Amino acid sequence: MIKIGHPQIETKEGKTYLKAFINNDAENVNEWLWFATDEAYGKYFCQETSDAFVLPMILRAVKTHQDVYVESAMSERLFHNLNESVFYAMCKTNEKKTGEKYKNIVKIHCDNLISKRYENNNSVGTGCSLGVDSFAVIKRYFFNNESLPSYKITHLTLFNAGAFGSKEKEGARKSFFNEIERSKKFADKLGLPFVWVDSNIRSFFPEFSFDWSHTYLNMSVVLSMQKLWRKYLYASGYSVDHLEFDIDDCAKYEPYLIPMLSTENTELISANMNMRRSDKVDFISDDKMVQENLYVCLKEQIRNNPNSKYVYKGNYLNCGQCKKCHRTMLQLDILGKEDLYRNIFDYVKWPKEKEEYIAEVVVGKDKDLMYHDLYESMLEHGYPLPLFKLKLLYYKIHISWKIRSVWRRMKKALHF
Ligand SMILES: [Zn+2]
């Protein structure tokens, strides 16, 4: 059984904390899970229900075949959706992946279900990482939003829920607080209030990739402040036509999951589900605001990770060398808009690296939806593919991937 203790609120050193003690019997984990923000927004933390602590335990419970017990209270709607749908869906998905049958589908237990509405939570939030997904939501729901007034963004946010790395925790926290400055400045430009929330939530998932759990983790941060949020727009990772129950990549089943995690007080919305990433880049790339502020780069996370060999020393906002920069630079090139972004991307190494990256896209297009999307976009726009060179690179990459895969399997089999 995973037990979630009564949520508590405390304030120290100018920050307000919402925390609950977690006992995870099967894995012998007994730890506080906490969220923290500045005192001004601490008053919106929701101590009345344990919803924020339930969400990160969903996959933990599925993975370890344990039920969840909530000592205090939780939202009736969330309780219903978990027991009537989500746990069934995720247990069956996990069965397919691992072959391990469940004796019983995982359940959540709670004796105190609440459906009371808060009166003043009229805010609409979205993340402000300043990447492609984030800008596409801001453009759709703030600048281009005459027709849907109750969906108009009122606040921008940044959460430390795993996006800044997890293996090196203090480095991740340092990256997060550095990024806060950039996001807050941008929110000030738009005249929108900015909310940050720090958390130790990612440390409950040390063995899994962020792709596995980011929807649960970010939505749990949102539910920690149900007294603020009426609606929260979470940028979709993929377009809805790629909906698939794949336990390794929660973005693929977000169109199903996100509404299921909503409560009576906070509606969670997967935003821009009708756009592929290439559509999003096309949608935002002519805007001056984006041309000056688009920030897709991983350099900050890389800089604060002492195990990383590569550190960017240039002065550009985007290093032009990490995988997220490459992805965006190729898309801009496909759209014929790279000249608009020369001031914020470092293009020095790109001419040499571009062909190899295109070959990677071609090789990976059937395994990775991001590559698939780029590849489709190249075909749609008649992007010239230097076929002979690509063929050579294709084999080079394909062979090196094969070697890596055989090496990984050998390591696993021989336990070294
Ligand atoms: Zn970069």
The H or E element containing residue 134 is helix 132-138
73 close to 50: Cβ distance less than 8 angstroms = yes
Determine, yes or no, domain membership for 276.
no
* Per-residue pLDDT at 165: 66
Determine, yes or no, domain membership for 134.
yes
Whether residue 216 sits in one domain with residue 345:
no
231, 256, 271 - which closes a domain: 271
pLDDT of 390 higher than 70: no
CA 304 to CA 8: how far, in whole Å? Answer: 31
Whether residue 250 sits in one domain with residue 102:
yes
57 close to 21: Cβ distance less than 8 angstroms = no
222, 238, 271 - which closes a domain: 271
Q: Tell me, in angstroms, the distance from the centre of ligand 1 to residue 240's CA.
A: 27
Expressed as residue numbers, the domain containing 58 is 2-271
Whether residue 221 sits in one domain with residue 307:
no
Whether residue 320 sits in one domain with residue 221:
no
Determine, yes or no, domain membership for 281.
no
Q: How confident is the model at residue 302 (pLDDT cuts 50, 70, 90)?
A: confident
Q: How confident is the model at residue 72 (pLDDT cuts 50, 70, 90)?
A: very high
Whether residue 68 sits in one domain with residue 214:
yes
Helices (H) and strands (E) in the chain, counts: 16, 13
Q: Tell me, in angstroms, the distance from the centre of ligand 1 to residue 132's CA.
A: 13
Q: Tell me, in angstroms, the distance from the centre of ligand 1 to residue 176's CA.
A: 16
What's the pLDDT tens digit per position in 311-366?
788 899 999 999 999 999 999 999 999 999 999 999 999 998 998 899 889 888 88
Query: Residue 353 phi/psi, 5° resolution?
Result: -90, -15
What's the pLDDT tens digit per position in 95-147?
999 999 999 999 999 999 999 898 888 999 999 999 999 999 999 999 988 78
Q: Which residue is listed with tokens 């949102």? A: 222
Determine, yes or no, domain membership for 324.
yes
pLDDT of 163 higher than 80: no
Q: Tell me, in angstroms, the distance from the centre of ligand 1 to residue 377's CA.
A: 21
Whether residue 304 sits in one domain with residue 195:
no
Whether residue 78 sits in one domain with residue 41:
yes
Q: Which of 397, 374, 401 lies closest to 385 in space, CA to CA? A: 374
Q: For residues 203-209, give the mean pLDDT.
A: 76
Determine, yes or no, domain membership for 21.
yes
Q: Tell me, in angstroms, the distance from the centre of ligand 1 to residue 267's CA.
A: 33
**3, 41, 55, 210, 399 from 33: Cα distances, Å:** 12, 19, 12, 18, 44
Q: Tell me, in angstroms, the distance from the centre of ligand 1 to residue 326's CA.
A: 7
CA 228 to CA 41: how far, in whole Å? Answer: 9
Determine, yes or no, domain membership for 282.
no
Determine, yes or no, domain membership for 213.
yes
Whether residue 365 sits in one domain with residue 251:
no
pLDDT of 27 higher than 90: no
Q: Tell me, in angstroms, the distance from the centre of ligand 1 to residue 164's CA.
A: 14
Percent of the chain with pLDDT strictly greater than 90: 70
Q: Tell me, in angstroms, the distance from the centre of ligand 1 to residue 323's CA.
A: 7
Whether residue 265 sits in one domain with residue 316:
no
What's the pLDDT tens digit per position in 229-288?
999 999 998 999 999 999 989 999 999 999 999 999 999 999 999 999 999 999 999 999
Query: Quick one: 67 exposed, middle or buried, by C-beta within 10 A (0-12, 13-18, 19+)?
Result: middle
Q: Tell me, in angstroms, the distance from the centre of ligand 1 to residue 324's CA.
A: 6
Which residues fall inside 5 Å of ion ligand 1, going by CB? 297, 319, 322, 325
* Per-residue pLDDT at 93: 95
Q: Tell me, in angstroms, the distance from the centre of ligand 1 to residue 199's CA.
A: 25
Q: Tell me, in angstroms, the distance from the centre of ligand 1 to residue 299's CA.
A: 5
Q: Tell me, in angstroms, the distance from the centre of ligand 1 to residue 408's CA.
A: 27
What's the pLDDT tens digit per position in 37-50?
999 999 999 999 99
Determine, yes or no, domain membership for 408.
no
Number of domains present in the structure of the chain: 2
Whether residue 159 sits in one domain with residue 200:
yes
Whether residue 260 sits in one domain with residue 303:
no
Whether residue 317 sits in one domain with residue 379:
yes
